Amino acid sequence: MAELFHECGVAAIYYLGDGVPSRFSPEQGGEQASRLIPRILLDIQNRGQLSAGMTTFCAGRKQLIDTHKEVGSVNEVFHMAHHDKYDELMSEYAGPAAIGHVRYATCGKEDRSYAQPFERHHIEKTKWFSFGFNGQLSNYQDLRAEILSDDFFHLARETDTEILMHILSQELRQEIESSGQTNLITVLERLSQRLDGAWNIVFLNALGDMFVARDPLGIKPMCYAIEDNMFAAASESVALSNMGFSDAAIQSLEPGHAIIIEKGELRIEKFAESPRKAHCFFEWIYFANVASTLDDRGVYLTRKALGEELAAQEKLSGITIDEDTIVVPVPDTAKAAADSMAYKLGVPSLEGLIRNRYIGRTFIEGRNRDEKVRAKYTPLREVLEGKKVILVEDTIVRSTTMKALISQLRERGKVRELHVRVACPPIVAPCFYGIDMSTINELFAPKFLNGGPMTPEVEAEMAETLGADSLKYLPREAISRCVDLPVSSLCQACLDTKYPTPCGQKLYSLALDASLSGDDTGRTYDTPLATTRT
């Protein structure tokens, strides 16, 4: 779905040996494990294409921790197409420990100062640190107001990442002043009491200490592996698998837990109670790489199951299948669902739409929607002409891309009929945990549902608006079945308006008020929740 973007992905690497070359980095040895960060980031590039960066630690250089980051793709930022430049960069930043980040902005500007990791310089090693952040703080405005209530404090950016940097600094200072040392678990315990929302953090300081933490609800995924003196963590398992870690070594970090590395020793500790799990269901149906496994559930198997649900629904009350019926996925994340749906229906699944994977986001920025779709997708007339097409999409958020796509399929593909099937229930509410949909009126479905249930009449009205012959969504209960997790372990707030955190629920109330008044042109995040503290 071209209309929907994730905020970011994080990674960490630490060589725990004493100079013996690691099988993960045979040429340079484990002491230059930092060279693996760009490779890991490439595997989670799907989570953010706006900027990339890494911070590395090396005890033998003046810049004990040093950060390289820039706007652009991983390949661009690390000069991976230019061997000499890449090797020079990797040599400059070489070290046994590193963290990395890829970003897409749901808040904040698109310039280098917003790229992560964020590094905070300090003369004291315990206070000199860098971190990367995946998620979004729902109480961002409250925390911002709290910081700015002191006239001596100043914030230079409109992003919750800078807020988090200041809070981390405060908690580190308080811990050092109270105990005379840095206890990272204690810092995380206090941090978790101040944050509302989704937050996965990778942290590295000038002592070479590291932590990788997952919030108490586990909203965003975090995977890790320890094998042959090498530790690595990433937002998705595919990055660790492609590094060479065995399947048995790759685990999901439990919510409210952190992996701590201090003085070269690794331990896993709980820093907060996890009252419930609230894994974002979108990770399985759209965001994650299809080769990943998150919280013990494979992404591919989930999408395959979604397609089977679509097929079962089609058999009950769908179109009449004839010899000219074909299933066509919207590339690329809908392909697994489309293929399994077609298999169950006994019809071909054909690539009637070809995506141009070499057109970057910047190239198509500023064009109107039809031009963007024309640049990104090519309908194959020889596949589509005269066919009854079942077009499978992962989700419909704002509908602008889908309208343009349907127009192109009719105009250029010459389809006979076009039936849209969505491998997701209707999106009826914003996300306040790291997906770039912040208001109700920007969404497609709410204006048709008006708070009521989905009916065939509503779907027919939606289809007419899109320019399709018919439209069907999956029912909400299908998500839990396909992910194979209970509803109580999932965040489905954008489907059912049941937000798993207090500030998320308050922001939805504000979004609802703004929608009813017609005054929701700005982002709901920008509204202070003055009475909220978590």
Mean pLDDT of 63-85: 96
Express each pLDDT in 75-128 by its tens digit: 999 999 999 999 999 999 999 999 999 997 544 456 788 899 999 999 999 999
If we measure between CA atoms, which residue out of 371, 364, 360, 440 comes closest to residue 405? 371
Mean pLDDT of 140-146: 92
Instruction: Identify the bridge partners of residue 346 per DSSP, sorted by sequence position.
Output: none
Neighbours of 360 (CB within 10 A): 12
Express each pLDDT in 441-485 by its tens digit: 999 999 999 989 999 999 999 999 999 999 999 999 999 999 999
Fold match flag (8-134+199-275 vs 300-526): no
Helices (H) and strands (E) in the chain, counts: 19, 23
Whether 8 is catalytic = yes
The CATH superfamily assigned to 8-134+199-275 is Aminohydrolase, N-terminal nucleophile (Ntn) domain (3.60.20.10)
Express each pLDDT in 242-283 by its tens digit: 999 999 999 999 999 999 999 989 999 999 999 999 999 999
Q: How confident is the model at residue 530 (pLDDT cuts 50, 70, 90)?
A: very low
Domain ranges of the chain: 8-134+199-275, 300-526
Residue 1: the pLDDT is 44
HSE-CB of 185 using CA atoms within 13 angstroms: 15
Express each pLDDT in 376-387 by its tens digit: 899 999 999 999
Q: How far is the C-alpha of 243 from the C-alpha of 73, rounded, in Å? A: 20
Least confident piece of the model among 10-19, 113-122, 501-510, 524-533: 524-533
Query: For residue 438, what are the contacts with CB-CB under 8 A and spacing of at least 6?
Result: 106, 430, 431, 432, 511, 523, 524, 525
The structural architecture, per CATH, of the domain 300-526 is: 3-Layer(aba) Sandwich (3.40)
Q: How confident is the model at residue 528 (pLDDT cuts 50, 70, 90)?
A: low
If we measure between CA atoms, which residue out of 81, 86, 103 comes closest to residue 34? 86
Neighbours of 85 (CB within 10 A): 12
User: To 10 degrees, the CA torsion angle through 83, 87, 89, 94?
Assistant: 150
Express each pLDDT in 207-239 by its tens digit: 999 999 999 999 999 999 999 899 999 999 999
Q: Is the whole-model pTM more than 0.85?
A: yes
Residue 142: the pLDDT is 92
Of all residues in the chain, what percent carry a pLDDT higher than 90? 78
Q: How confident is the model at residue 531 (pLDDT cuts 50, 70, 90)?
A: very low
Query: At 358, which amino acid appears?
Result: Y
Express each pLDDT in 185-202 by its tens digit: 999 999 999 999 999 999
According to the per-residue pLDDT averaged within each range, which of 143-152, 225-234, 523-532 is highest?
A: 225-234
Query: At 223, which amino acid appears?
Result: C
Q: How far is the C-alpha of 235 from the C-alpha of 10, rounded, in Å? A: 6
Residue 364: the pLDDT is 43
Q: Would you call the peptide bond into 430 cis, given omega within 30 degrees of 0 as the criterion?
A: no
Whether 324 shows a pLDDT value over 80: the answer reads yes
Residue 26: the pLDDT is 53
H/E run at residue 484:
none
Residue 37 · residue 100 · CB < 8 Å: yes
Whether 62 shows a pLDDT value over 50: the answer reads yes
Q: How confident is the model at residue 367 (pLDDT cuts 50, 70, 90)?
A: low
Residue 520: the pLDDT is 67
The C-alpha angle 482, 484, 489, rounded to 5 degrees, equals: 115
Q: Would you call the peptide bond into 275 cis, given omega within 30 degrees of 0 as the criterion?
A: no
Residue 153: the pLDDT is 86
**Residue 322, phi-psi category: left (phi > 0), alpha (psi -120 to 50), beta (remainder):** beta
Query: For residue 83, what are the contacts with CB-CB under 8 A and spacing of at least 6?
Result: none
Express each pLDDT in 292-305 by its tens digit: 999 999 999 999 99
Residue 533: the pLDDT is 32
**Token code pair at residue 356:** 């141009």
Q: How far is the C-alpha of 330 from the C-alpha of 351, rounded, in Å? A: 9
